[in-house]
């Protein structure tokens, strides 16, 4: 029986972020060694937009664990990676393997974290005030996405449009990077194999990937072709990386 690989999307995405990755996994995993992909909508996103307010990390961990089998492999992209880390720390006996894609363990500096928290709250206010298409355009103009191919930008915008702005505002207030207690000091306690994947164009998260690897007791780092939004830009590369399991 194939093991379930739970897939968590990033901010303003949905479970559809993983469709091409899941399709490649399905083509690779016809035998007993393959994964059965299970993509979830995180609170405030997609079909989980009606999640009770306020949205919190603790509630998101419970949401993920409730939607998973008793034991599973877990992969998270960006926001989904930060939540995946919290799931693995909260229930390590249930997570057989962890994959962190374009993500971080939080902002260590308290002043920088407070500044990011304030910025995210202003952005959440904007989500409730301006036309949604204006917000989408502003979000996609971030330098992190500046060199995305047009096809990737189109897919990302389609993901945004699957969400409700009010629900995203609630998610940003509860799950923004500035709202998260940093987890760097806890990484050495993760005993399951951890694969960290970063995009070759994603300089910021390549540095964060190096930092993650240095603190993980059972980790390895992979650089994939693409920028920050690897599930949309390099789904085949991610599926191949997921299939290459490290020894437990």
**Looking at the whole model, is its pTM more than 0.85?**
yes
Domain-located, residue 150: yes
Cα dihedral across residues 216, 219, 220, 226: positive or negative: negative
- Helix/strand/coil for 171: helix
Between residues 30 and 117, which one has the greater pLDDT? 117
Exposed/middle/buried for residue 183 (C-beta within 10 Å: 0-12, 13-18, 19+): buried
Residue 32 has pLDDT above 60, yes or no: no
Domain assignment present for 142: yes
CATH of the domain at 229: 3.40.50.1820
Is 79 among the domain residues? yes
| Domain presence at residue 248 | no
| Domain that includes residue 17, residue range | 3-243
Q: Which pLDDT belongs to residue 245?
A: 66
The verdict on residue 216 lying in a domain is yes
Q: How many domains does the chain have?
A: 1
C-beta of residue 27 within 8 angstroms of C-beta of residue 243: no
């Amino acid at each position: 029986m194939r093991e379930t690989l739970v897939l968590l999307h990033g901010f303003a995405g949905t479970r559809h972020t993983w469709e091409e990755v899941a399709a490649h996994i399905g083509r690779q995993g016809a035998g007993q060694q393959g994964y059965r992909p299970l993509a979830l909508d995180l609170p405030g996103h997609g079909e989980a937009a009606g999640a009770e307010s306020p949205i919190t990390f603790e509630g998101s961990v419970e949401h993920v664990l409730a939607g998973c089998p008793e034991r599973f492999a877990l992969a998270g992209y960006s926001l989904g990676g930060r939540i995946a880390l919290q799931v693995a720390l909260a229930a390590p006996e249930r997570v057989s393997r962890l994959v962190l894609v374009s993500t971080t363990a939080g902002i260590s500096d308290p002043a920088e974290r407070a500044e990011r928290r304030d910025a995210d709250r202003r952005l959440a206010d904007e989500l409730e005030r301006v036309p949604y298409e204006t917000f989408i355009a502003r979000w996609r103009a971030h330098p992190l996405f500046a060199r995305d191919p047009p096809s990737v930008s189109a897919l990302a915008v389609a993901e945004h449009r699957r969400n409700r702005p009010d629900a995203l505002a609630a998610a940003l207030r509860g799950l923004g990077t500035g709202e998260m207690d940093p987890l760097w000091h806890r990484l050495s306690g993760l005993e399951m194999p951890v694969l960290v994947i970063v995009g070759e164009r994603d300089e910021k998260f390549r540095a964060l990937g190096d930092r993650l690897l240095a603190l993980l007791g059972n980790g390895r780092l992979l650089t994939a072709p693409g920028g920050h939004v690897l599930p949309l830009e390099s789904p085949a590369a991610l599926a191949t990386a997921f299939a290459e399991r490290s020894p437990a």
